[in-house]
């Protein structure tokens, strides 16, 4: 959420942001119109209340008149307030100045590549073929039990998954992040607060109690200090969560139906940071978080490219975003495995997370989040890059102590 005064003072900038993020530009004019009516209605209500409060005990007739007028105007104000709040939640965060403008993924810019693309003296298989051949993966039985995009992982692939997640979590603890186990079901306020609602509501699963299943532990971690006042000494706050994640994958019909790259349920290690209200400080952390994810891929010996995402391929709340795409030799393509974003105070305003600086002034914290490791997506990359001619898969060196073996399969 943005400050309404900022929106009033920067109408053209906000309209440009809405356009560049492929959203409905009419929402801006509607918001400002409702805002003007809301303020006029508030003044009317305040004036009537002040008049009523000034009346003496003998002015009963006048008091009754004012009371009746308030009965007419207060419901109007409440309706305008409700509409105002709803519209405010639909205004996106303007992209940072250096974000490329584009309608979709074709506007993203490759800013870095690392590592040599793996070469083989045989035709490399896709991850799901390797996994099936070694009896590490069963989609047919899973689909019968749980529907499309369901899967079983089996045997060594389960152990590799646990090795990867454990390695990622240990790495984050070593970097000073607090490891946290998080709620998987959260109240709507947490999803609205982190900006996943209203835009991504259809892609979330809902419980009969009105809660939502998280699509990432970012939701729970970012909302952790909801409604709290922190101090400058608390910052930066560095949190790391490992949790199941659930996504309906709306709009991906027919996309990535083979294997376990795009699924409804997965596990992810995620990092979230609160910083002071300073964009320069936040951008430094944004790049630092990118470096952490890069280091993980380098530790695993996986080549990758870093993309600076364009305006049309970012979330509504994101100010700036990097994606990392890891090389998948079995598919002869780079595939997205990590996403690194910062928001300034967009999320913290919605969640009311503030801090007091050294002078006693109050500010909303700035928030960031980034993928550390997502499974089974990253598992797929490991399988394709470490496959051997006989159909077995070498275990990356850094994961061998966790696995207790150096080769999986045949």
Determine which one of 217, 218, 243, 247 is catalytic.
247
Residues 314, 98 contacting (CB under 8 angstroms): no
- Residue 8 annotated to the active site: no
Q: Alpha-carbon dihedral of residues 284, 285, 288, 292, nearest 10 degrees?
A: -170
Strands (E), 220-263: 229-231, 237-246
- According to DSSP, the residues that pair with 223 across neighbouring strands are none
Q: Which two tokens stand for residue 98?
A: 């250096």
Q: Which two tokens stand for residue 306?
A: 């870093």
Nearest alpha-carbon partner for 382 in 371, 393, 366: 393
- Residue 64 annotated to the active site: no
- Residue 280 annotated to the active site: no
What values do phi and psi take at 239, rounded to 5?
-120, 150
Q: Estimate to the nearest angstrom the gap between the alpha carbon of 214 and the chain centroid.
A: 10
Counted residue by residue, the chain has a size of: 410
- Residue 49 annotated to the active site: no
Looking from the CA of 251 toward its CB, the CA atoms found within 13 Å total 5
Residues 341, 321 contacting (CB under 8 angstroms): yes
Determine which one of 81, 248, 336, 392 is catalytic.
336
- Residue 262 annotated to the active site: yes
Residue 322 CB neighbour total at 10 angstroms: 23
Determine which one of 339, 341, 348, 375 is catalytic.
339
The Cα–Cα gap between 101 and 323 comes to 16
Determine which one of 262, 276, 279, 392 is catalytic.
262
What values do phi and psi take at 364, rounded to 5?
-80, 140
The Cα–Cα gap between 387 and 393 comes to 4
Q: Which residues are catalytic?
A: 247, 262, 336, 339, 377
């Amino acid at each position: 959420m943005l400050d309404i005064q900022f929106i009033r003072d920067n109408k053209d900038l906000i309209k440009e942001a809405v356009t560049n993020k492929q959203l409905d530009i009419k929402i801006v004019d509607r918001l400002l119109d409702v805002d003007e009516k809301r303020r006029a209605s508030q003044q009317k209500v305040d004036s009537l209340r002040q008049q009523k409060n000034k009346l003496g005990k003998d002015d009963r007739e006048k008091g009754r008149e004012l009371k009746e007028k308030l009965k007419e105007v207060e419901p109007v104000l409440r309706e305008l307030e409700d509409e105002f709040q709803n519209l405010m939640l639909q205004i996106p965060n303007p992209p940072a100045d250096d974000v490329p403008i584009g309608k979709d993924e074709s506007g993203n810019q490759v800013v870095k590549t690392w590592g040599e693309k793996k070469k083989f003296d045989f035709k490399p298989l896709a991850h799901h073929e390797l996994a099936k051949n070694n009896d590490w993966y069963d989609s047919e039985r899973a689909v019968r039990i749980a529907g499309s995009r369901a899967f079983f992982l089996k045997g060594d692939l389960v152990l590799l998954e646990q090795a990867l997640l454990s390695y990622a979590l240990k790495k984050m603890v070593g970097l000073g992040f607090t490891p946290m186990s998080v709620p998987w079901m959260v109240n709507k306020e947490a999803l609205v607060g982190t900006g996943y609602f209203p835009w991504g509501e259809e892609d979330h699963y809902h419980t009969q109690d009105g809660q939502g299943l998280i699509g990432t532990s970012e939701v729970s971690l970012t909302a952790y200090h909801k409604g709290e006042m922190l101090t400058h000494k608390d910052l930066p706050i560095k949190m790391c969560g490992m949790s199941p994640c659930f996504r309906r994958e709306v709009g991906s019909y027919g996309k990535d139906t083979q294997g376990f790259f795009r699924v409804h349920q997965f596990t992810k290690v995620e990092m979230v940071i609160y910083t002071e209200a300073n964009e320069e400080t936040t951008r430094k952390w944004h790049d630092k978080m990118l470096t952490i994810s890069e280091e993980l891929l380098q530790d695993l010996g996986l080549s990758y490219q870093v993309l600076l995402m364009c305006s049309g391929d970012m979330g509504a709340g994101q100010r700036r975003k990097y994606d990392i795409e890891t090389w998948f030799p079995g598919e002869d393509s780079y595939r997205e495995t990590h996403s690194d974003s910062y928001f300034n105070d967009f999320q913290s305003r919605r969640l009311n997370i503030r801090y007091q600086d050294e002078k006693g002034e109050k500010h909303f914290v700035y928030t960031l989040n980034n993928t550390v490791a997502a499974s089974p997506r990253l598992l797929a990359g490991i399988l394709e890059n470490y496959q051997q001619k006989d159909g077995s898969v070498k275990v990356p060196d850094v994961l061998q102590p966790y696995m207790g073996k150096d080769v999986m399969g045949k």
